[in-house]
Amino acid sequence: MPLYTPPLRDMQFVLHEVLGAVDELKQLPAHADVDADTINAVLEEGGKFAAEVIAPINLSGDLEGCTLDKATHEVKPPKGFKEAYAQYVEGGWPALGCDPDYGGQGLPVVLNQALYEMLNSANQAWTMYPGLSHGAYEALHAHGTDEQKKTYLPKLTSGEWTGTMCLTEPHCGTDLGLLRTKAEPQADGSYKITGSKIFISAGEHDMVDNIVHLVLARLPDAPAGSKGISLFVVPKFAVKADGSLGDRNPVFCTGLEHKMGIHANSTCQITLDGAVGTLVGQPNKGLAAMFVMMNAARLGVGNQSLGLTEVAYQNAVAYAKDRIQMRALSGPKVPSQPADPIIVHPDVRKMLLTARAYAEGGRALSMYVALMLDKALSSDDADEAKEAEDEVALLTPIVKAFISDNAWLATSHCMQVFGGHGYIHETGAEQFVRDARINMTYEGTNTVQSLDLLGRKILGNNGATLKKFGKKIAAFVEEEGTSEAMQEFINPLADIGDKVTKLTTEIGMKAFQNPDEVGAAAVDYLRVVGHLCFAYFFARMAKVALEKQNSGDKFYIAKLATARFYFAKLLPETASLIRTARTGLPTLMEMDEALF
């Protein structure tokens, strides 16, 4: 069975030594009392829950999957999932980052994100049940009426109820402007909603008494396309005025998707047959309201991918140290054994270090974005909050797409380390690969994220937000530019920064002539900017590690080795990416469709 050890030391390193998170948080009125001891204690206890409660049911849950009773439309998750969720609720974990006005603990987003990294490493399919609830909480917290907040937020905060996001339909995919689900106004101010939804994660289960569905639908007079979408809250059971549950709402699971991975999460086909709901936010403005949940989900998908990268790496390293096969090319390393452990072989090390570097770089970026989100939500300085909000918007597609692309590569490498045993279910390696693959697809495919980054977040404001982020990088380069020890990190960082500036300008000029140039370059472009982000954070981590490399703590030696590997072996990928991004549109579009 796969093993998992929470990476507490690296989490604490990033939070306390690289980002100075406590000092940053103390500047925010909502988190003025947060201290390092509190953060460390929460991480330690959260890690125990992840490793001891939900990790042991990951492999079995993948084998068993979910079961639908077609007569009752009820879904049962795998054995142990309901009991684990009860422990999660009893421990107060759902309330960690929620508003104290609704029973939450009011702790920072960055701490909640760190918790969820560990939960995702331990059991991504299980973690999606409470994870989607938190997204529903965020959407209602931002856009719900006072009555909706009073009705739903305390129960979502406590974990007594869970939530979903019901977006797409069989004919839609990512293009939600095509959706057909209808919402008919009723005399009492409610709406009756009719339609079909697909790919609804955690859409039905028996782990809680009620499920709160956030549903996109069209009003009778709605304009066509995405400008005619409204958002509704539709509970599985009606909620009475006193908070007790009433009649069953006609919102049913009519089928379970048979998926490549995340078998233990109930991915549902949902039918609404005149289900009663209430409007969230303004009519025809539902997509904007839902984007609160979607952006939270996109950061969550990056976190899922980070978690899988970490746990796949841990298990591959353990196997590589134990598995003996062949001798090192330079001669026996363990003469007392008939063969050397495979970790002596250079390519095995390359695969392991790739996974390690993508985990550590992803952790630094994810935590940084979460800390910026704390500033956006809690700063009492309007300018600071707006700048942080803009930066989060810029980096969200990178967190989602770059980290999930890396997870697909890393988990595949880690499965390869196992050799033939990696293809066997009992090792867990192949499950990590299967589970990681969905993260590149849902919550907006990685191509959609790339178009969002280049088309909307960068070219949409003439690169203003990217330039601000670039100034942070430039300031760090200037500050460390005279340090001889930092040259091996600073020089390539400065170089990729200059190249991103030039590439952005070049693509922008082409896009003025033909907007399709954005589509031709976007995926390669996002990956280049993703590497710029990783290079920045690896340089920052290397700075701290250099200062403490003689402390006797081997953690810093390992951090420097990982940073050097990243700059030497992974960052150079940007050279080919920049070249392919620059080739542009012609080679993609010149072939006649009939010839495909």
Which residues have CB under 8 Å from 144's CB, separation 6+?
152, 153, 233, 280, 281
With both helix axes pointing from N to C terminus, report the angle between 346-378 and 554-565 in degrees, rounded to the nearest 10: 100
Provide the terminal-to-terminal Cα distance of the chain, rounded to the nearest Å: 45
The rounded radius of gyration (Å) of the Cα atoms in the chain is 24
Amino acid 61: pLDDT: 98
Residue 294 has pLDDT above 80, yes or no: no
**Which DSSP category does 210 fall into?**
E
Q: What is the pLDDT of residues 54-94, one digit of tens each?
A: 999 999 999 999 999 999 999 999 999 999 999 999 999 99
Amino acid 290: pLDDT: 75
Q: What is the pLDDT of residues 255-288, one digit of tens each?
A: 999 999 999 999 999 999 999 999 999 999 988 8
> Would you state the structure tokens that stand for residue 575, as one six-digit string?
């050279």
pLDDT band, very low/low/confident/very high, at 413 (cuts 50, 70, 90): very high
Q: Return the C-alpha torsion angle 137, 139, 145, 151, nearest 10.
A: -20
Looking at residues 241-257, what average pLDDT do you find? Answer: 96
Q: What is the pLDDT of residues 24-60, one digit of tens each?
A: 999 999 999 999 999 999 999 999 999 999 999 999 9
Amino acid 399: pLDDT: 98
Q: How many residues does the chain have?
A: 596
**Which DSSP category does 458 fall into?**
I
Residue 227 has pLDDT above 80, yes or no: yes
Residue 211 has pLDDT above 90, yes or no: yes
Residue 97 contacts residue 107 (beta carbons within 8 Å): yes
Q: How far apart are CA 324 and CA 340, in angstroms?
A: 5
Which residues have CB under 8 Å from 111's CB, separation 6+?
39, 42, 43, 96, 97
Q: How far apart are CA 59 and CA 30, in angstroms?
A: 39
pLDDT band, very low/low/confident/very high, at 215 (cuts 50, 70, 90): very high
Q: What is the pLDDT of residues 356-375, one digit of tens each?
A: 999 999 999 999 999 999 99
Amino acid 251: pLDDT: 98
Amino acid 428: pLDDT: 97
Tell me the residue type at 307.
G
Amino acid 331: pLDDT: 94
Looking at residues 117-134, what average pLDDT do you find? Answer: 96
Amino acid 173: pLDDT: 81
Looking at residues 530-553, what average pLDDT do you find? Answer: 97
Residue 183 contacts residue 193 (beta carbons within 8 Å): yes
Average pLDDT over the chain reads 96
Residue 448 has pLDDT above 90, yes or no: yes
Cβ-count burial 120-156 (b if 16+ within 10 Å, e if not): bbbbbbbbbbbbbbbbbbbbbbbbbeeebbebbbbbb
Q: What is the pLDDT of residues 503-513, one digit of tens each?
A: 999 999 999 99
Amino acid 586: pLDDT: 92
Residue 214 contacts residue 166 (beta carbons within 8 Å): yes
Q: How far apart are CA 195 and CA 180, in angstroms?
A: 7
Residue 301 contacts residue 442 (beta carbons within 8 Å): yes
Amino acid 446: pLDDT: 96
Amino acid 32: pLDDT: 96
Amino acid 275: pLDDT: 98
| Active site (catalytic) residues | 443
Residue 101 contacts residue 81 (beta carbons within 8 Å): no
